Homo-oligomer: A and B are copies of this chain.
Amino acid sequence: MPVGLSGLPELLPVTGIRWGVAAAGIKRSGRNDVALMEIAPGATTAAVYTRNAFCAAPVALAKRHAAAAATRYLLINSGNANAGTGEPGKQAAWASCQALAELVDCQAEAVLPFSTGVIGEPLPVERIRQALPQAVAGLGGQGWEAAARAIMTTDIVPKGISKQVQLGGKTVTITGIAKGSDMIKPDMATMLAYVATDAGVAQSLLQQTLRQAVNLSFNSITVDGDTSTNDACVLVATGQASVAFASESEAGFAEFATAVTQVCQALAQAIVRDGEGATKFITIDVQGGRDAAECRQVAYTVAHSPLVKTAFFASDPNWGRILAAVGRAGLDRLDVDKVAIHLGDVCIVRDGGRAADYTEAAGQAVMGKEEITITIELGRGNTEARVWTTDLSYDYVKINAEYRT
């Protein structure tokens, strides 16, 4: 079960955003598998996408459409990733957009397509086309929760959060939803997250805001190190709250950007907490590095180590595995005698070796917890980075060995 995730909190509507859902029969369960976001005219939209070279057909098309026209609709299907599908996949992504455009009378380029699910199966475009009228008919401002459920694949729980900030006496709302629990080591963003605000934000500023938020959230998590072919994160600013930003120096913008980052972090952490088979939520703090890149390199090496992850699963303070992972992270001329490692508030490694005052009982007390922080001090600079991850359990193997059966 997800680590420390209770039910979905209340998801506040964002003026200018409506969601509709439908069941197209792509998921074998018969549950909703199409979600449609309608964006009011005048909004700005920013997006970041996977860097996987085999990016899916909808990802490639969404990039082209976003560059060609103002975005009015996000059309999302779950159950099928439309990735590794070659030329027919590209045609299918385009045909989905075209079907919606005809139905709602807009340009096909105003529709951004997104897909998530099994890789390599043909996308059943005709089923999507037939489900669209239902999704359009149901469009409403309260649809965030239904959308959060419709985009789920192997997720156990839907993921979403709302945040309100007061800026100059005005209330700004930010609401976001996300899905994902495997193939999670986003390289630009994770498949899939949709965040909207009723603030107004100039296009280039919105893109910059999203990129910064994603670096500190979706780009700082990993479940299994596998970067998806379909990752995408979209941020929409509808500009209907009487608060608008044209440049980052304006009053209140820093506060707004922080709130966007917090929403993205909450969604990113929810994905980790619902990571496949997760029984622990691990925060890896690397400090004292020369630059952020080497801190992230160490954090990810520890986060991806199957030996470290199974030790967390077993609540075993086998700290030698953490030390070995730090040592193989490939840092140039690391002076191990300056390295210190803490497990929670217990010092396990000092001056490159086991701390003299370390006891197995103290380590065991920390490892028994459901949420654990590892702090790694490199002793060679002033930069830090933080990554969130999970343990590796029987259930991870079980879920992924049985995924398609």
CB distance from A145 to the nearest CB of B (A): 29
Asked if residues A404 and B352 are in contact (CB atoms below 8 Å), the reply is no
Given A334-B53, A397-B393, CB of A84 within 8 Å of CB of B353:
yes
Is the C-beta of A28 less than 8 angstroms from some C-beta in chain B?
no
Given A120-B354, A403-B318, CB of A83 within 8 Å of CB of B324:
yes
CB distance from A16 to the nearest CB of B (A): 35
Chain B's closest residue to A315 (CB) is B401
Given A326-B54, A328-B53, CB of A314 within 8 Å of CB of B85:
no
Count of A interface residues, CB-CB < 8 Å: 66
Q: Indicate which residue in B84, B89, B349 contacts A84 across the interface (CB closer than 8 Å).
A: B349
Asked if residues A328 and B394 are in contact (CB atoms below 8 Å), the reply is no
Q: Indicate which residue in B86, B306, B398 contacts A352 across the interface (CB closer than 8 Å).
A: B86
Is the C-beta of A193 less than 8 angstroms from some C-beta in chain B?
no
> Among residues 386 to 403 in chain A, which have CB atoms less than 8 Å away from a CB atom of chain B?
392-394, 396-398, 400-403
Is the C-beta of A291 less than 8 angstroms from some C-beta in chain B?
no
Please indicate the chain B residues that have their CB under 8 angstroms from the CB of A307 in the complex. 182-183, 224, 226, 400
Asked if residues B120 and A404 are in contact (CB atoms below 8 Å), the reply is no
CB distance from A63 to the nearest CB of B (A): 15
Asked if residues A400 and B306 are in contact (CB atoms below 8 Å), the reply is yes
In the complex, the 5 A-B pairs of residues with the closest C-beta atoms, listed nearest first:
A86-B353, A119-B320, A54-B327, A314-B401, A310-B400
A118 to B398 alpha-carbon distance, docked (Å): 28
Asked if residues B182 and A327 are in contact (CB atoms below 8 Å), the reply is no
Asked if residues B324 and A54 are in contact (CB atoms below 8 Å), the reply is yes
CB distance from A339 to the nearest CB of B (A): 8
Could you list 15 further interchain pairs (A-B, Cβ under 8 angstroms) beyond the known A306-B392, A306-B400, A392-B397?
Answer: A52-B324, A52-B328, A53-B328, A54-B336, A55-B327, A84-B324, A85-B353, A86-B351, A86-B353, A119-B318, A120-B320, A224-B306, A225-B304, A313-B397, A397-B397
CB distance from A346 to the nearest CB of B (A): 14
A-B contact pairs, 20 of them (CB 8 A): A53-B328, A54-B324, A54-B326, A84-B319, A84-B323, A87-B353, A119-B323, A120-B320, A183-B321, A187-B328, A225-B304, A226-B321, A228-B324, A229-B327, A306-B306, A306-B396, A306-B400, A307-B400, A310-B397, A314-B400
Please indicate the chain B residues that have their CB under 8 angstroms from the CB of A203 in the complex. none
Please indicate the chain B residues that have their CB under 8 angstroms from the CB of A221 in the complex. none
Q: Indicate which residue in B185, B305, B334, B353 contacts A226 across the interface (CB closer than 8 Å).
A: B305
